[in-house]
Amino acid sequence: MEKAIEFLLNRFPALRNRLDEHMLEVINGAAVALVLKVLGAGLTFLFNLVLARALGAEGAGLYFLALTVTTIATVFGRMGLDNTLLRFTAASASVNDWSAVKSVYMKGMKLALIASFLSAVMVFVFAPVLTDKVFQKPELIVPMRWMSLAVVPMTFVILHAQVLKGLKRIRDSFIVFGVGVPAISLTALLLLGGRYGVKGAVWAYASGAIIAGLSGVILWYVATPQLRKVSTSLRTNDLLKSSMPLFWVASLNTMINWMATFALGVWGTKEEVGLFSMASRTAMLTSLILTSVNSISAPKFAELYKKKDMTALGATARNTAKLMTLISSPLLFLFLIAPQWVMGLFGGEFRKGGILLSILAIGQFVNVATGSVGNLLMMSGNEKLMRNNVALVAVMSILLSVVLVPIYGSLGAVIATAVCLSLQNLIAAYMVKSSLGINTLSWR
């Protein structure tokens, strides 16, 4: 991939002259990430396709409700440590402070193990209350309890993906999270899904999480042989001081992303949950380039901010926003002109979700066009600004979901989701401009 990019830059020297060393590093890393991300997205899409065709809209709805609860539990298990570990690892590794890297890793993983185990126990114990009293779907209790087994391994999958990013091991990071989980889950689903229904789909996901989590631990130790000879130095309080604001950011972000699904579980039907969930995951393909660029831009932002090179930081942020917008445009166009055809790939009963896909895709496009503004805030020590932004949008998400979902069902859910996603990133872009003096929306 690097050779291909080098070939293009040699063919177009004017383009090379417009890119500094930091942007070239972002492009090289993002290209690798994009290839793996596309592979992972394709596997995830196939997983959802097999899931939808095997279980139908109602069965998929039950699966995604169980996944929603597990995802929320995983957020509590991470304690906001994912972005903290990324930030500290990237900043410390850039100056070869391996003692700090080891301290962050060891203390972060110990805290996450305790918190994620407690979260998994809570899901298992309170599953009857959630399924009977909240969702009023008693048939959900068995899938939810099996899904609780994925809380601890998924916590470790996400955290190891982040620390590997901090070392700029982009390939390893995406193998663990972007490719490993969907690849293993898809294989297991093909073997179990049709025979065991929703329970089989849950087993497939849990299997992917467990195997990918173990892979993440192995890849970390392979990547860091130098850590065996250094001692730890970072205090736990220093780690928690950064992670607590980010914990609230992650928690509130999860509320924003999953509030509509949760509301549909309470006021909607299993079919509406299935339609909305499939449309939401398909629309997220629009932001595929965003997650690919973020994988390398986040540690680069942390590095440049630590070095106080604000000129390079601003240029890198603006150029990545341009790059992401241009690449995402064709997919958005497809979701706007042929949404029924795209949703019909999951089965005839999903075609009615075409309008849901179009609305969600617009929200995702705004997310891409504003650039990596969330990462800019978090990697520059402005965790509290990001927390305040997300808190405001989370309140709006609750209000919109409570008002719109009971009346309009899945259509109300997508409107609430798209509005909140767009607003969150526009506010973050304003915060980046006011606090760092960087305008990611400027194409000049």
Q: Is the pLDDT of residue 369 over 70?
A: yes
The stretch 34-53 carries a mean pLDDT of: 82
Q: Residue range 325-351: average pLDDT?
A: 87
Query: How far is residue 161's CA from residue 150's CA, in Å, rounded to a whole number?
Result: 16
Q: Which amino acid is at 238?
A: D
Ranges of beta strands (E only) in 149-248 are: none
- Residues 6 or more apart in contact with residue 258 via CB below 8 angstroms: 68, 71, 72
Q: Please answer whether residues 59 and 136 qualify as being in contact, where contact means their C-beta atoms are separated by less than 8 angstroms.
A: no
Report the range of poorest mean pLDDT among 6-15, 292-301, 400-409, 422-431.
6-15
Query: Count of alpha carbons within 13 Å of 277, Cβ hemisphere only?
Result: 31
Identify whether the C-beta of residue 244 lies closer than 8 Å to the C-beta of residue 115.
Answer: no
Residue % of the chain over a pLDDT of 90 = 24
Which pLDDT belongs to residue 14? Answer: 47
* CA 353 to each of CA 107, 135, 278: distance values in angstroms, whole numbers, following the listed order: 45, 22, 8
Tell me, what DSSP letter sits at residue 318?
A: H
Q: What is the pLDDT of residues 188-207, one digit of tens each?
A: 998 875 678 889 999 999 99
Q: What are the tokens at 65?
A: 């409700």
The residue whose two tokens read 């070869």 is 96
Q: Structure tokens of 285?
A: 């393909």
- Say how far apart CA 65 and CA 44 lie, in whole Å: 17
* CA dist., res. 198 & res. 357, Å (int): 24
- How confident is residue 6, by pLDDT bands cut at 50, 70 and 90? very low
Signed CA dihedral, 209, 214, 219, 221: sign only: positive
Q: Say what the pLDDT of residue 234 is.
A: 57
Percent of the chain at pLDDT above 70?
84
Output DSSP code: residue 372.
S
The answer to whether 361 and 353 have CB atoms below 8 angstroms apart is no
Cβ neighbours of residue 347 closer than 8 Å, sequence gap 6 or more:
52, 53, 56, 57
Would you kindly state where each structural domain of the chain is located, as residue ranges? Answer: 2-436
How far apart are alpha carbons 273 and 45 in whole angstroms? 17
Helices 181-223/21-78 angle, 10° precision: 110
Q: What CA–CA distance (Å, rounded) separates 255 from 75?
A: 10
Highest mean pLDDT among 9-13, 33-37, 189-193, 422-426: 422-426
Q: How confident is the model at residue 8, as a pLDDT?
A: 41
Q: Which residues contact 342 (CB under 8 A, 6 or more apart)?
A: 282, 334, 335, 354, 357
> Is 80 exceeded by the pLDDT of residue 401?
yes
Q: Quote the radius of gyration of the chain (alpha carbons, Å).
A: 21
Q: pTM for the full model? A: 0.68
Report whether 314 contacts 371 (CB < 8 A). no
Model pLDDT, residue 15: 45
Half-sphere exposure for 137 (CA within 13 Å, toward CB): 23
CA distances from residue 87 to 82, 223, 260 in whole angstroms, order as listed = 9, 18, 30
User: What pLDDT score does 266 carry?
Assistant: 86
CA 248 from centre of chain: 16
75-106, pLDDT tens digit by residue? 888 887 887 888 788 878 877 888 888 888 88
- What is each CA distance from 306 to 57, 93, 115, 231, 301, in whole angstroms? 49, 12, 30, 23, 8
At residue 21, does pLDDT exceed 80?
no
For position 416, what pLDDT does the model report?
93
pLDDT at 7 over 50: no
Per-residue pLDDT reduced to its tens digit, 139-173 = 999 999 999 999 999 999 999 998 998 887 878 88
Q: Say how many CA atoms lie within 13 Å of 174 toward its Cβ.
A: 24
DSSP state of 350: G
**CA nearest neighbour of 120 among 146, 139, 141:** 146
pLDDT of residue 269 exceeding 90, the answer is: no
Contact 256, 420 (CB under 8 A): yes
Mean local confidence (pLDDT), 306-331: 80
| Tokens linked to 417 | 């989701």
Q: Is the pLDDT of residue 354 over 80?
A: yes
Spatial separation of the C-alpha atoms in residues 56 and 186, rounded to whole Å: 17
**C-beta separation of 386 from 249 below 8 A:** yes
What's the pLDDT score for residue 16?
A: 47
Q: What is the residue whose two structure tokens read 């730890």?
A: 232
Residues 6+ apart with CB under 8 A from 72: 254, 258
Residue 146 has what pLDDT? Answer: 95
- Tell me which of 4 and 97 has the higher pLDDT: 97
Structure tokens at 148: 């609780």
- Rounded Cα distance between 254 and 76, Å, is 10
CB 308 within 8 A of CB 94: no
CA distance 268 to 277: 13
